[in-house]
Structure 1
Amino acid sequence: MIHRIEPDGVYGLPDLVSQISVPDGRRLAFLSGQVAWDEEGRVVGEGDHAVQAAQVALRIDRLLDALGARRQDIVKETIYVVDHEPHLTPSILAALHGAQPPSSTLVGVTKLFAPEFLIEVECVVALPDRKPDEEQACAR
């Protein structure tokens, strides 16, 4: 289980991000920064932050699925946004977050590794408990 904590006396936006995320006795996985590539390596949504955020979310969902995890298992994310403006934040976070938002940092940047990408997201995931036979399968 992941506990999301919003302490008194610390202003935040609890519908958008959690101030503290604490996983109970879980292993962690670290997802590399994800950008808006499709399955063939083509850029999706060039010039559109919201479309790129949706594609990044799809890629993260696929990585989570490979781990047997879900968006609720993300405990920390860092979102890099090219040419960030405050009005972009709701559509970006809406695409990335499930019912319970993780602890999150959004960083405005001038550019990413290639000019067509507007968003990159890296995540820390608390992996769900597995049975011993699943441990063997993942070790291969």
Structure 2
Amino acid sequence: MSQVVAVEGNQLVLLSGQVAWDSEGRLEGLGDHAAQAAQIVRNLDTALAAVGATRDDVIEETVYVVDYIALLLPAVFGPLRDGVSMAPASTLVCVPTLFAPEDLVEVRVIAAVGTIPHVTP
């Protein structure tokens, strides 16, 4: 895990409320933290690709987990780290419930993409 990530000259992309809903709005992985985390990663990949980014561009994430116990750490973070070269600054928050009662995991990320051109007057 990383606690500090420095960004210079990039645009920030904010993705909030990433849950385990498929493209039809149906929940994937009912009662299964790992399956929900895997669907969230697919959703993140799709959303980030739409702005020309990947999970390697994520600099900060907040992961909300219902019914968290330490044994869930690999199930939740395994999919998030799979294929990523460096972990972003990360916070895990244990919560009693999320927007929909069946949701067990929700992820919010900030990605830094591209470069902002420097203009000299």
Cα contact 1:33–1:123 (8 A) shared by 2? no
Q: Percent identity?
A: 48
Identify which of 129, 133, 137 aligns with 2:115.
129
Where in structure 2 are there 5+ consecutive unaligned residues?
Answer: none
- Listed one character per residue, the Cα deviations across residues 91-128 of structure 1 (whole Å, up to 9, x for unaligned) are 21111122211000000101001111000000011012
In structure 1, C-alpha distance between the alignment counterparts of 2:85 and 2:42, rounded to whole Å: 16
Matched, 1:68 2:52: yes
Q: Distance in 1 between matches of 2:35 and 2:109?
A: 19
Q: Within 5 Å, which residues of 2 pair with 1:1-140?
A: 17-97=1-81, 98-129=84-115
Q: Which 4+ stretches in 1 moved above 6 angstroms?
A: none
The number of residue pairs the alignment matches comes to 115
Larger RCO (alpha carbons 8 Å, 6+ apart): 2
User: TM-score, with normalisation over the residues of structure 2?
Assistant: 0.90
Q: Over aligned residues, Cα RMSD in angstroms?
A: 1.3
Q: Which has the larger radius of gyration?
A: 1
Q: 2: distance between equivalents of 1:66 and 1:52?
A: 21
